[in-house]
Structure formats: structure tokens, C-alpha cells
Amino acid sequence: GIMKRVSSHVSIASEAEINLDLSRLLIDKPRFTLERKRSFDEQSWSDLSHRHNDGFDSVAHSPAFRTGFESPFSTGSHFGEPSGPHPLVNEAWEALRKSVVYFRGQPVGTVAAVDHASEEVLNYDQSSEKMVDRFKLGAGAMPASFKVDRNVNRNTETLVADFGESAIGRVAPVDSGFWWIILLRAYTKYTGDASLSESPDCQKCMRLILNLCLSEGFDTFPTLLCTDGCSMIDRRMGIYGYPIEIQALFYMALRCALQMLKPDGEGKDFIEKIGQRLHALTYHMRNYFWLDFPHLNNIYRYKTEEYSHTAVNKFNVIPDSIPDWVFDFMPCRGGYFLGNVSPAMMDFRWFALGN
């Protein structure tokens, strides 16, 4: 081979030396060790800053190393030398503290909305019972939010629940009950403590929620019919029908309840109903919500106003309602779940939340 002559001022490192230097870099690289099962409070933030600085002791004393931007621990100092928390960090902690709502000395949640002029919570006022325009909601409806009503004269605190009578549009929440069951299962699985989920109150609450969503009515689909504004998920409007995010929550809540319900008395009946509903819901979602290229071509060739059980276009979808972008967006292999499938309407948008 051809060898190039190198000046004596330049030393060529061998492969072994290069590997050794790389290994040193890997060893000396600062490691951030965050303990699990520990809240990221101010103490852990301080610990993180010290561990961060220890890894740069070798370069922190060099005047050539200075930060090119202002970070929380580098303002006006050498690289790696702490100069106190950044003001933005203090403001963030202060805002977080002010957002916490306390009930009898214990934190119970965060503020949903505040009018700084009057210090009154907006849209969540004057609620005492599950009544909307003299109509009583069914047992098992889970409130969307709570308000802590403090009586200064009596020195008492009372939780006031909002079941939708104070919400925008006066719509009762559908997702809150499902979130409650899912969080109860998450708590039980994480802590290993089943005493809470097995308590009579929690068992009764699960049965009431399930009784609402599993009750028989005029609907011919195993999915849940929802109105606009019935959930606190990002996509609140334009979901009338059978939105995929509610069906995903419904499916997960049924699976969680199946693991926590006691197989005795009323619980045994609900376990049987859950098994039947899960089977029907899974079949319905896989057959009618799943969209791939062959299914898209079939929909494009659908005939409308078909009658009888032999109808191919079961939801009477109008082919002209298919957006043009779907054909370019749809991959040749694979597919996705539709955002909503209702009579004469399909939401072809792709939502990562439900998929």
C-alpha cells in the first residue's frame, strides 16, 4: 500500500490507544441516576444538579469552557459551576404549588379554571346534587370535577361534585368513570394492595359504573354512543357517535374491572356481562373500525340505501364523503382504526390516542 509521511509534530495514535480513550470517555461520562418510586421534588432536582456538576470537574476549572447559553445552573458561571436555580425554575415550582387544591389538609387535585379577578372557579359553581334541569342522572355517573367549598364562619370544607350541570353544554362526562376504574387497577397493580379495590364501596362503585355502560337500550352496537363535549380528552367536539378514544377507554375499563370484581353475588353477573361485551366489542372494532387499502376500495364502490341483512354497506356510508387525502395517506400494507364509525358517517382521520 501507499504510506504517507507525517510531520514529527503530529503523533498518530494506535487503535488500542483510541479504544482506550473512548472507554475513558464512556467511564467519565456523567451519569444521571434517578431513583424510582420517588417524586421529582426540589430535593431530587438539587441532587440532580450536584450529580451533573461532579461529572465535569475536569473541565470546570478551565477558563476556556464557558456556556454559550443560560441554563438553570449555568447563568453567569463557568460550565458546570452552579450559581443557584434559574428564576424560571422557581416560578414553575410556585405555579405548581398554587395549582394544588387541598381538602382538609390533603392535596386532592389541581385547579381546573380560575378567574383572577374574583378568585371564583369558573364553570364549576353551584352544584349540590345530580340534577340537570330537574332530570336526575342515573346512579353510577362519575363527576367530571370537584370544587372545595370552604365555609369561613363554620370553619368547614365540603367537596361539591360537578356531574355536568355546570359544564359547557351541560353534558355529563362519559370518560371519568372509565378513568376511575383504570386508575384503581393501576394503583392495585403497582402497590400490590388489593384492600382498596376489594372494599365494599369500591366494589359497589364499579358495579354502578358498569350498570350504566352495560345497560340495554335502543342501541344495536356494542360500542358506546357519545355526544359532543362528553369527555375531557383533547378532542372534545365533533365526536358525536362512537369515537374511538371512548371505545378504547371502555375496553380498557372492562378489562380492569374484570380483574377486580369479586366473583360473588352481583359481581358474578357483571363478570359474565363483561365477558360477553368484550367479545362483541372486539369483533365490532376489528371489523368496522379497521381500515386498510382493500377495505377502502370496497367502501369507495359501496351502493347506498341498501336494505335487508344481505346489505354490504351496513352503515350506509356515502362514497362521495371519503376525503381525497385518504387515498394518498393510506399505506399499501397495514392500516389504522377510524376515528368514528356511525350510520352514514365515517371519520377517516387517524388519531394516535385511540390507535
Per-residue pLDDT, 116: 56
Q: How far is CA 255 from CA 44, 189, 203, 351, in A?
A: 36, 13, 15, 22
Q: What is the pTM of this model?
A: 0.60
The ranges assigned to domains in the chain are 103-162, 175-347
Helix (H) or strand (E) holding 256: helix 244-260
Cα separation, 242 vs 221, whole angstroms: 10
Q: Cβ(323)–Cβ(351) under 8 Å?
A: no
**Rg from Cα positions in the chain:** 29
Cα separation, 347 vs 341, whole angstroms: 6
Q: Cβ(208)–Cβ(137) under 8 Å?
A: no
Per-residue pLDDT, 154: 81
Helix (H) or strand (E) holding 90: helix 87-99
Cα separation, 38 vs 44, whole angstroms: 8
- Chunked into runs of 10 residues, the chain (355 residues) has average pLDDT values of 45 48 48 46 47 44 42 48 77 87 80 57 44 60 73 80 67 82 94 92 91 83 83 70 89 94 88 93 93 88 79 82 88 89 86 59
Per-residue pLDDT, 81: 55
Q: Record the cell numbers describing residue 222, joined without a space.
A: 356494542
What are φ and ψ of residue 175, in 5° steps?
-80, -25
- What is the number of other CB atoms lying within 10 angstroms of the CB of residue 280? 13
In 237-344, the DSSP E strands lie at 290-292, 335-337, 340-342
